[in-house]
Each structure stands twice: as C-alpha cells, then as structure tokens.
C-alpha cells in the first residue's frame, strides 16, 4: 500500500492552517491532545513514513521538535508544538509563544557524578568547569547569568557518557524522571529551568488568521488544574 | 577563484538589481506624489549623536574609531539620522515637513543565523503633524505604496505604543517587573507574560485579566469595544486614540486593510502612540513597520510630533515574487 501523499499548499490565507507536530518524546501526548479536540489521529499513529497529514481542516506537518521553530518562524507552518527546552535553546527564533500545553513536563538541570565533588573541585582549582550538553546556548547563558565560567562542550549523542569517561565534569541536560541519570551514576546538582510542551505561532499568521488561530488555541487550552 | 564577503552581506546581480530598481522607483514616485522630498544622509554618523535617539534597548549598531579617535557608528535605521537632519538643517522651517528616503542600514547580527547585516530600507517621515491626522496621512501613503508595488493583499497592523506603559503605571507596576513585562509583550510570549504577571505583588484579579487579555485583541473596530469592557483609564485613553485614528482612516478609505491590534509592541524604544507593522499573506515575515515618535526630534532640540514608516525592500521584493506565484497557481 502506498502511503497517502498530501501536497502541502504554499498558499497562505484560505488554505487549511498548517500545524507543525513534533515527532519523538512529545509525539504520543501531542496526538492525545489532538484527539481530545476531536481530531482522529489513528492514521498518524499507524503511519511512521508520511510527513504530512490532512485532518479535519488542518494540515499537520511532522518533524523533529528542534525543527519546529525554524518552520514556524519562516511561515512554512502557521503554528507548531515543541518543548520549552527547544525554545530556550533557539531563543533568537522569532516565534510567538502563545500557550503552555502542560504535558511533556521535564526539567533542564546541571548534573554531576554521584558522590563526587569534581564539579566543585575543578571550579575551585581551575576557576571553570567542563560541561557537556546538547543545549550549548542554554548552558552558556546559565553560567553567565550565575557569574561562573564553564567550558561548554557540545555533544550530539548520549550526554551521560561525558562525565563517566572524563570528557566533562558535569552535564546540562533535560530530565523527566531522573532514571537515566541514576542509571549512569549521575545526580542533579542545580535546576536551570522547567519545560513543558508549548504552542508557538508565526507572527504573520497570528495576525492575519487571528480567528482561526484563537479558535485552535482555545480548543487546545488545558483545563485549569 | 572565490573571494569571501562577510556573512550577512551579499552581492546583487543585474536581474535582481533591475527589479529592485523598479521597486525603488515605484515607491519614490508614490512618496513624491504625496509631497515627500527625498533626502540622503551619511552612512556613518557620530555614535554620540545617534545615541540621542535610541530608547530602551536600542538596536545593535556597528561602531568603530576613526583616524582621529572619534567613535562612529553605521546607521542602524533611517529615522534617527533624519530626526538629526530636521533639527539641524530645518531648525526654523515651517512644519509640516515631509521627507522620504531609500538607503542601506546596518545592524549587528548573531553570526550563527542567516541574518543580514545590511538591508535596504525605503520610507517616509512626516514631521510636525500630530495624531491623528499625521498618523492617518502616513498610513495613507503606506497603503498607496503597497498597492503601487502590487501587494494589494497586504495588511497594516495598528497598535498603540503607550498603552502598556500607561497601563502598568496605572496598575502600579514599576522597576524590573515593568521591564520584564514589556519584554515579554514585545516578544509576544504569552506564556512568559502570564508567569511574570503572576509574580506581581498586590495585582488584583481584574488587573491580571486586563494584562493577559489585551495582547490577544486584534481585528476590526470591535476590538476597541472588547478592550473598553476590560476597563481602566489607560485602556480607555488608548482606545480613544485608536478610535480617532480609525475613524479618520475610514473617511480616507484606508481602514479596510487596517487591523487594530492591542498586542502590538515594537521593540524600538522611540515609539509613542500609534505603531504599525506590515504583513503580506504570502510571506511569513513582516515587511516593515513604523509609527509615531513624538519625542524623538525633541531629543535633538526641536520638539515636534512626527510619524513615519520604513519598508524592507528585499522582503517587499520577496513578497512580490510569492504573490506572483500564488496568482499563477490560481489561474
């Protein structure tokens, strides 16, 4: 069976709103949220190959969470869902952050080896620490704001590896349950920021398609807890 | 052999230059037709002079020392140099004064991003004509300019730069909290705004609702009624200013393409009263902006109300191309 191909219209105004959806950690909960507002996402759950889906008057474009701000800033998607961690790392992307969707809760933390003082030791003796992270800009900004010096080492894969083999004294990473840290003999030292899934909007779409955007925002707004 | 040029700059080749030149000529024709005379100012200015015009934050300008040790800056917009020009070369002239310009401006960029350091700006400045008449004249010229370059679908977002300053004063919010709230509003970060508003001590439920609901109000004349329902003197005054402008825009037949927007807050510090952003449905980026800056020229020694707009020529050109593509697909 060939997957359904959907031509995403370039045209803005008039066509369906385009919503960028993150694959990866936020995928399931995002589809759950879409189900709750009455979209039938069954077809998306079963189809891992198609990138674009048409559902009830919305065009859903699926992508890596870190690509969402790029598409939304350029207007290739009118709206998008991604983690606050991504928005913090890409703080210079001009997108409107319009709704906290509440799910996908996790924390950006500074972690070091359990029971090891080396984070403090390197800082005390060398005046700086070596920090491995996938979020170099968040890390640099955090150490700058707290008045400390750090050599920030960007890695792409498992960050937990870096302190184990001595590449870094600590890591700045996203933690949901803390299990991965624990399994790798690491512990949280400082909390940098809290993150949840956010709805972002292109600034032109937010103005020119105001009624449609506001309607979707109100439907997606989580019940007050 | 390839010789590099700095990131954020570019060469323009004949095909593009021909179209850009046509775009410039069309705009200048419109500006002249409305009585705006073209001026040119130096690309380089004394940093100290430009600083007089920079408000909160200011825009990153390239600065360097010349051979005498004076600190110079590349102009980062055209409005401040023209304010300087008006105060020094037209110190006695009878207002209103009308000027237009086309030229390059320069801004400091983050090296990682595909941002431009140099961009072409075209626009007008109307000096010595107060709100609402002056604002409406500027919007009329802007609307005619967009039509002349074929962007008939372009929309003008109209907001009020004083609204939140006055509202925060009324609610007794000052100091760092005030600055943080204005920053969140300028970014239009509604999640961050809610977080900041919840931090304010002693803000009642009504003040909270006003601060959180106002930025979402955008649309036709009905948004002014929705704003008034929230109440308060600052909101009432802003609604009156916008209403007066809007009524005149209706008279001049320009209101149709204007979207009133109480969430609009541009990050240039010198705006007072009306602020404008320009959108085209074919493009995800704004085409330009403008508004009133009634205190700017006073900072150079000749207090006079003023307003204007500036369009980013390269983006205008891109929007023209996208609109042509849309028109072709429709055929």
Confirm whether A225 is domain-assigned. no
Sheet arrangement for strand A106-113: A150-154, A129-133, A170-175, A106-113, A186-195
Average pLDDT over residues A170-176: 94
Q: Which residues of B touch A211 (CB under 8 A)?
A: 219
Q: How far is Cα A69 from Cα A93, in angstroms, rounded to an integer?
A: 7
Q: How far is Cα B114 from Cα B105, in angstroms, rounded to an integer?
A: 17
Q: Which of A132-141, A172-181, B103-112 is most confident?
A: A132-141
Q: Cβ contact (<8 Å) for B216 and A214?
A: yes
Helix (H) or strand (E) holding B133: helix B133-148
- Residue A4: pLDDT band with limits 50, 70, 90: very low
The pLDDT value given to residue B224: 96
Q: How far is Cα A56 from Cα A34, in angstroms, rounded to an integer?
A: 11
Query: In this structure, are residues A220 and A17 in contact, taking their beta carbons and an 8 Å threshold?
Result: no
Its domain, for residue A58, covers 17-105+196-220
When the pLDDT of each residue in chain A is averaged and rounded to a whole number, the result is 88
Question: How many CB pairs below 8 Å do chains A and B form together?
Answer: 69
**Is A98 near chain B, with CB under 8 Å?**
yes
* Domain total in chain A: 2
Q: Is the ipTM of this complex over 0.85?
A: yes
- Residue B7: pLDDT band with limits 50, 70, 90: confident
- Residue B170: pLDDT band with limits 50, 70, 90: very high
Strands (E) in chain A, as ranges, are 17-22, 52-55, 58-63, 79-83, 96-100, 106-113, 129-133, 150-154, 170-175, 186-195, 197-201
Specify whether A148 is located in the same domain as A124.
yes
> What are the tens digits of pLDDT across the range B44-80?
999 988 888 775 444 678 899 999 999 999 998 899 9
- Residue A21: pLDDT band with limits 50, 70, 90: very high
Confirm whether A1 is domain-assigned. no
Confirm whether A8 is domain-assigned. no
Q: Cβ contact (<8 Å) for B188 and A97?
A: yes
The pLDDT value given to residue B57: 43
Specify whether A122 is located in the same domain as A190.
yes
Helix (H) or strand (E) holding A142: helix A136-145
Query: In this structure, are residues A171 and A148 in contact, taking their beta carbons and an 8 Å threshold?
Result: no
Q: Which residues of A touch B326 (CB under 8 A)?
A: 10-11
Has residue A146 got a pLDDT over 50?
A: yes
Return the closest-CA partner of residue A199 out of A176, A183, A215: A215
Q: A91 burial class (0-12, 13-18, 19+ CB within 10 angstroms)? A: exposed
Q: Which of A13, A92, A203 sits opposite B286 (nearest CB)?
A: A203
How much is the pTM?
0.90
Q: B14 burial class (0-12, 13-18, 19+ CB within 10 angstroms)? A: exposed
Helix (H) or strand (E) holding B71: strand B71-74
DSSP for B195-232, written as a single string: HHHHHSTT--HHHHHHHHHGGG-EESTHHHHHHHHH--
Specify whether A100 is located in the same domain as A137.
no
Specify whether A42 is located in the same domain as A100.
yes
Confirm whether A145 is domain-assigned. yes
**Is A73 near chain B, with CB under 8 Å?**
yes
Q: How far is Cα A89 from Cα B180, in angstroms, rounded to an integer?
A: 19
Q: How far is Cα B141 from Cα B308, in angstroms, rounded to an integer?
A: 10
Confirm whether A201 is domain-assigned. yes
Specify whether A64 is located in the same domain as A163.
no
Best residue in B151, B226, B284, B318 for a mutation probing chain A (most A CBs within 10 Å): B284
Please report where in the chains the tokens 């500027």 appear, as a residue. B138
CA end-to-end span of chain B: 44
The pLDDT value given to residue A9: 38
Confirm whether A130 is domain-assigned. yes
A47 φ/ψ sector (left φ>0, alpha ψ -120 to 50, else beta): beta
Distance (Å) of CA B216 to CA A12, A206, B117, B210, B275? 21, 10, 32, 10, 16
**Is A13 near chain B, with CB under 8 Å?**
yes
Distance (Å) of CA A42 to CA A30, A38, A138? 13, 12, 36
Distance (Å) of CA A15 to CA A76, A203, B265? 13, 17, 28
The conformation of residue A65, written as its DSSP 8-state character, comes to G
Specify whether A80 is located in the same domain as A142.
no
Residue A66: give its domain's CATH number.
Answer: 3.40.190.10
Confirm whether A4 is domain-assigned. no
Q: Which residues of A touch B280 (CB under 8 A)?
A: 204
Specify whether A112 is located in the same domain as A174.
yes
Specify whether A76 is located in the same domain as A37.
yes
Confirm whether A111 is domain-assigned. yes
Specify whether A185 is located in the same domain as A206.
no
Q: How far is Cα B293 from Cα A55, in angstroms, rounded to an integer?
A: 46
The pLDDT value given to residue A124: 65
Count CA atoms within 13 Å of residue B166 on its CB side. 14
Q: What are the φ/ψ torsions at residue A50 (nearest 5 degrees)? A: -70, 150
Q: How far is Cα A214 from Cα A73, in angstroms, rounded to an integer?
A: 18
Looking at the complex, report in whole angstroms how far the Cα of residue A39 sits from the nearest Cα belonging to chain B: 25
The pLDDT value given to residue A225: 63
Q: Which of A73, A76, A97 sits opposite B192 (nearest CB)?
A: A97
Q: Which residues of A touch B188 (CB under 8 A)?
A: 96-98, 203, 206
Query: In this structure, are residues A52 and A8 in contact, taking their beta carbons and an 8 Å threshold?
Result: yes
Specify whether A57 is located in the same domain as A115.
no
Q: Which of A10, A205, A207 sits opposite B157 (nearest CB)?
A: A207
Q: How far is Cα A56 from Cα B267, in angstroms, rounded to an integer?
A: 37
Specify whether A94 is located in the same domain as A204.
yes
Specify whether A157 is located in the same domain as A200.
no
Q: Which domains does chain B have, with CATH numbers?
A: 13-158+272-331 (3.30.930.10), 162-265 (no CATH)
């Amino acid at each position: 069976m060939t997957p359904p191909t959907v031509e995403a219209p370039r045209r803005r105004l008039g066509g369906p709103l385009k919503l960028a959806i993150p694959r990866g950690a936020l995928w399931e909960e995002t589809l759950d949220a879409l189900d709750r507002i009455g979209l039938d996402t069954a077809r998306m759950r079963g189809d891992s190959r198609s990138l674009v889906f048409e559902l009830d008057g919305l065009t859903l474009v699926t992508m890596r969470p870190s690509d969402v701000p790029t598409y939304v800033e350029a207007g290739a998607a009118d709206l998008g869902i991604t983690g606050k961690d991504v928005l913090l790392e890409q703080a210079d992307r001009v997108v409107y952050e319009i709704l906290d969707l509440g799910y996908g809760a996790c924390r950006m933390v500074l972690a070091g080896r359990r029971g090891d003082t080396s984070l403090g030791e390197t800082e005390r003796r060398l005046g700086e620490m070596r920090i491995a992270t996938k979020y170099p800009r968040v890390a640099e900004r955090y150490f700058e704001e707290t008045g400390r010096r750090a050599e920030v080492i960007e890695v792409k894969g498992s960050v937990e590896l870096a302190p184990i083999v001595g590449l870094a004294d600590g890591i700045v990473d996203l933690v949901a349950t803390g299990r991965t840290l624990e399994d790798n003999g690491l512990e949280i030292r400082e909390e940098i920021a809290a993150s949840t899934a956010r709805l972002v909007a292109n600034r032109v779409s937010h103005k020119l398609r105001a009624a449609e955007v506001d309607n979707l925002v109100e439907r997606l707004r989580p019940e007050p807890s | 052999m390839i010789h590099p040029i700095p990131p954020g700059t570019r060469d323009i080749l004949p095909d593009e230059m021909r179209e850009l030149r046509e775009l410039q000529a069309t705009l200048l024709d419109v500006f002249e037709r409305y009585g705006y005379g073209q001026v040119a100012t130096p690309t380089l200015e004394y940093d100290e002079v430009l600083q007089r015009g920079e408000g909160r934050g200011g825009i990153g300008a390239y600065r360097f020392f010349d051979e005498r040790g004076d600190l110079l800056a590349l102009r980062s917009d055209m409005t401040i140099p023209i304010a300087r020009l008006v105060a020094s070369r037209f110190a006695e002239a009878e207002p209103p004064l009308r000027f237009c310009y086309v030229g390059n401006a320069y801004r400091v960029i983050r090296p990682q991003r595909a941002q431009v350091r140099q961009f072409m700006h075209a626009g007008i400045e109307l000096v010595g004509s107060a709100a609402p008449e002056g604002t409406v004249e500027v919007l009329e010229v802007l609307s005619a300019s967009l039509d002349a370059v074929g962007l008939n679908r372009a929309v003008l977002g109209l907001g009020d730069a004083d609204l939140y300053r006055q509202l925060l004063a009324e609610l007794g919010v000052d100091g760092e909290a005030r600055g943080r709230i204005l920053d969140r509003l300028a970014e239009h970060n509604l999640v961050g705004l809610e977080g900041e508003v919840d931090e304010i001590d002693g803000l009642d439920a009504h003040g909270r609702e006003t601060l959180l609901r106002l930025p979402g109000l955008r649309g036709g004349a009905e948004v002014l009624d929705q704003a008034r329902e929230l109440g308060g003197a600052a909101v009432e005054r802003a609604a009156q200013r916008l209403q007066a402008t809007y009524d005149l825009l209706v008279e001049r037949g320009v209101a149709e393409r204007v979207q009133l927007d109480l969430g609009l807050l541009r990050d240039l510090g010198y705006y007072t009263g009306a602020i404008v952003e320009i959108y085209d449905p074919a493009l995800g980026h704004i085409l330009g902006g403008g508004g009133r800056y009634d205190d700017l020229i006073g900072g150079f020694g000749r207090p006079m109300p003023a307003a204007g707009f500036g369009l980013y020529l390269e983006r205008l050109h891109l929007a023209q191309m996208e609109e042509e593509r849309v028109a072709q697909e429709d055929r």
